[in-house]
A and B are shown apart, each in its own frame.
Chain A
């Protein structure tokens, strides 16, 4: 059964990419709705299958790990596959209505969208270092294409910046892969994990290269300069995809590398250093988000800040007791999920607001609270999750990270967690204050369709509800991990 599901999961996005290239935007929309329904169903079924049967390796082409490419289907991977299905479907539905179907270039939206989805699934399931590289490139190029779609100068500028950063990051990663292959003669992460004994300098350099490249692609401070223009200029559904999912892909690889190899190749300096950069991202990104004059730039800089929390994974899992490390991993996983849902909701809601007031400026929002209370409410609800107030997913994530920090004696991260929440509150309330300003007789608002308003609301509610179901979600995450760890790598 799982075999069929995996085949469906890999086949659908690629096939839909090819098919939708042959159609126009409107026909592609119908086709894509069908595809999203299939992907959603397959992802859900796979999630339940892994929940019951545990994780497994899937040998593509029937060739096992070192010779062929094996996919690692475990609890974490299928959870992210499901997350991608949820956020991808929401953004796809929103885009179908939001994007101007009459523009001739929009026909390329769907193929790029589906290629992006295929790449994301490839990353979540990837267990082969080089295949991860190809998946990353698939993601980067389709994401750049999506940003550039429409071809106005500012978008091209942002897309080029993004492209160059992404390419440099990929090559740094590939250089690390080359060193690993030179040393071990294999590309399978599981086999490398088995063969690796101690911290050889060559391999430490390799890991550093890979982490640096992936950090650049994830836009970790101070390598974040490419992100705000790209995420700010793209159409809102694209921004939601980029902020919600795309930057998580490179972080996911970095985290997987760290969890598998970090105990032997890492060092306290590296772990603390990554944490410090993450902390700086939280503070600096939040501050810049507060200062931005444009609505989508606020949301984009907020992404820079929220990414920062993810990098606390490095110090909180290095040389700490097993339960503490597990706590931190769970916290980071929750943070990834809740940020993906909340940030997608925020960008989609921001898109609605911009559509309504016909301007990207925060000041132009004055009075919009009367006209789009629903979208504004979604925006705020997502904001609550970013702030980390109970009962949201953001709160549950921070609570776990807080515990992990205290249990490992690294109290300084607690300061970052709390300060980040306060700063997030500041930039979200700034938008709110601007929206509730009363202006005389400005009823020149466009009212977007109901469906556009409903989608961010659903995502924001999911982010909110995540806090309530955090326990079951995390138990599913932890359980299959054991199964996979116990299963030997096949020869």
Chain B
């Protein structure tokens, strides 16, 4: 098994760990952590799988750089929303049963 493939498979395992965490955890920050793990797994697969042949392939590396920036943008947006949500409700998870909040509309 080549070096790259080893890391690609590690990426697969990370995807599994991240996905499990994403689906099973309720705490919003923990979910965010799981999302980041899942993202890292995907990036590892992307680079590890692509680098067959001779030498590193710059294209997936550039894609992953883009992906990392998108991921931190999403993470930062989520943190802002989570903090604000916590500030207003004191809650750190979304599952609070069907409270009236769902239907409250405008004005």
Chain A residues in 8 Å Cβ range of B84: 151, 156
Chain A residues in 8 Å Cβ range of B63: 130, 181
Interface contact B106-A182, CB-CB below 8 Å: no
Closest chain-A Cβ to B76's Cβ sits at a distance in Å of 10
Closest chain-B Cβ to A300's Cβ sits at a distance in Å of 11
Per the bound structure, the CA–CA distance linking A431 and B88 in Å amounts to: 33
Interface contact A153-B42, CB-CB below 8 Å: no
Task: Fill in one digit per residue for A290-326: 1 if any B CB lies within 8 Å of its CB, else 0.
Answer: 0011111100000000000000000000000000000
Interface contact A174-B42, CB-CB below 8 Å: yes
Chain A residues in 8 Å Cβ range of B89: 153, 157
Contact surface of A with B, Cβ cutoff 8 Å:
130, 134, 137, 141, 144-145, 148, 151-154, 156-161, 163-164, 167-168, 171, 174-175, 177-179, 181-182, 185, 187, 228-229, 232-233, 235-236, 292-297, 351, 354-355, 358-360
Closest chain-B Cβ to A224's Cβ sits at a distance in Å of 14
Closest B residue to A158 by beta carbon equals B102
Chain B residues in 8 Å Cβ range of A152: 88
Given the contacts A178-B42, A293-B103, A294-B103, A160 and B49 also touching, CB distance less than 8 Å: no
Interface contact B107-A358, CB-CB below 8 Å: yes
Task: Fill in one digit per residue for B22-61: 1 if any A CB lies within 8 Å of its CB, else 0.
Answer: 1000001001000100110010011001101000010110
Interface contact B42-A157, CB-CB below 8 Å: no
Chain B residues in 8 Å Cβ range of A179: 45, 49
Per the bound structure, the CA–CA distance linking A185 and B52 in Å amounts to: 10
| Neighbour of A296 across the interface among B46, B66, B74, B105, CB < 8 A | B105
Closest chain-B Cβ to A333's Cβ sits at a distance in Å of 30
Chain A residues in 8 Å Cβ range of B49: 178-179, 181-182
Per the bound structure, the CA–CA distance linking A409 and B35 in Å amounts to: 43
Per the bound structure, the CA–CA distance linking A160 and B103 in Å amounts to: 16
Interface contact B35-A167, CB-CB below 8 Å: yes
| Neighbour of B94 across the interface among A161, A178, A235, A359, CB < 8 A | A161
Interface contact B66-A160, CB-CB below 8 Å: no
Chain A residues in 8 Å Cβ range of B52: 182
Closest A residue to B74 by beta carbon equals A167
Q: A174-B42, A360-B103 are in contact. List 15 more A-B contacts (CB 8 A).
A: A137-B70, A154-B104, A164-B22, A167-B78, A171-B35, A178-B42, A179-B45, A181-B63, A182-B8, A182-B45, A182-B52, A185-B50, A187-B59, A229-B102, A232-B103
Closest chain-B Cβ to A33's Cβ sits at a distance in Å of 23
Interface contact A294-B38, CB-CB below 8 Å: no
Interface contact A134-B107, CB-CB below 8 Å: no
Per the bound structure, the CA–CA distance linking A236 and B77 in Å amounts to: 23
Chain B residues in 8 Å Cβ range of A177: 46
Per the bound structure, the CA–CA distance linking A158 and B84 in Å amounts to: 13
For A148, A292, A293, A295, the residue with the greatest tally of chain B CB atoms inside 10 Å of its CB is: A148
The SS class assigned to the A binding surface is helix
Interface contact B101-A154, CB-CB below 8 Å: yes
- Number of residues of chain B lying within 8 A (CB) of chain A: 39
Q: Would you list 24 pairs from A and B whose C-beta atoms are within 8 A, ordered by A residue?
A: A134-B66, A134-B70, A144-B81, A156-B85, A156-B88, A160-B78, A164-B22, A164-B31, A168-B22, A171-B42, A174-B67, A177-B46, A178-B60, A179-B45, A179-B49, A181-B59, A182-B46, A229-B102, A296-B105, A354-B107, A358-B107, A360-B103, A360-B105, A360-B106
| Neighbour of A235 across the interface among B22, B38, B106, CB < 8 A | B106
Chain A residues in 8 Å Cβ range of B73: 137, 141
Interface contact A354-B85, CB-CB below 8 Å: no
Closest chain-A Cβ to B24's Cβ sits at a distance in Å of 13
Interface contact B106-A236, CB-CB below 8 Å: yes
For A137, A144, A182, the residue with the greatest tally of chain B CB atoms inside 10 Å of its CB is: A182
Closest A residue to B41 by beta carbon equals A175
Task: Fill in one digit per residue for B62-95: 1 if any A CB lies within 8 Å of its CB, else 0.
Answer: 0100110010011001100110110011000010
Interface contact B101-A163, CB-CB below 8 Å: no
Interface contact A153-B101, CB-CB below 8 Å: yes
Per the bound structure, the CA–CA distance linking A4 and B94 in Å amounts to: 47
Chain A residues in 8 Å Cβ range of B60: 178, 181
Closest A residue to B66 by beta carbon equals A134
Interface contact A156-B81, CB-CB below 8 Å: yes
Given the contacts A145-B77, A354-B105, A175 and B15 also touching, CB distance less than 8 Å: yes
Given the contacts A144-B77, A153-B88, A293-B103, A160 and B28 also touching, CB distance less than 8 Å: yes
Chain A residues in 8 Å Cβ range of B94: 157, 160-161
Chain A residues in 8 Å Cβ range of B107: 354-355, 358
Chain A residues in 8 Å Cβ range of B28: 160
Chain B residues in 8 Å Cβ range of A354: 105-107
